[in-house]
Amino acid sequence: MFDPYLLAKLVHIFAISIMIGATLINGLIHGQAKTASPVEAAGLLRCVVLVNRLLMGPSLAVIVLTGFLLVHTLGYDLWSGWIATSVGTSLTLILAFVVGARVEHRMLDIAILAAAKADMRLPTNYQRVFLQAVPIGLLALILSLLTLALMIFKPF
């Protein structure tokens, strides 16, 4: 028997898993890119941009859409308890995604320019921009895990 609620819940959980996985993958790739040659870094950062476009962005949209569907289906108040906190973390995740994508594109541009100049190492401004990306990625991971915990434990 087809149950739209259970399907929405499954898709919601799957999207959160993808979001957490994509965040971890991006962190690992960034760690490799910062010590790579400009050509290698450009290739790695293209992967990050691709992960964002194909996995992270769509998973964020699905999380929000299925979350609203689940709240509506169950008749919960969107602005109370753990649901309000989840809405806040989701909005912050979307902001982190938008800001983080801009920073990652800037890092990619720096690597591409250094590769085009046949530099052997990434320029010093790459490290500065990388240090801007680190707190954004950490925040996204923490918020993703917090959202998952809220969904599972419903503490308040």
Side-chain-side CA neighbours of 11 within 13 Å: the count stands at 19
- Count of domains observed in the chain: 1
- In which domain, by residue range, is 135 found? 4-153
**Could you tell me if 107 and 26 are in contact, meaning their C-beta atoms sit under 8 angstroms apart?**
no
pLDDT at 24: 95
Q: What is the pTM of this model?
A: 0.92
Side-chain-side CA neighbours of 48 within 13 Å: the count stands at 31
Find all residues with CB under 8 Å of 151, minimum gap 6, and list them: 12, 13, 16, 86
Phi and psi, residue 78, nearest 5°: -65, -25
105-152 pLDDT per residue, tens: 999 999 999 999 999 999 999 999 999 999 999 999 999 999 889 988
Q: What is the 3 state secondary structure string of 46-112?
A: HHHHHHHHHHHHHHHHHHHHHHHHHHHHHCCCCCCHHHHHHHHHHHHHHHHHHHHHHHHHHHHHHHH
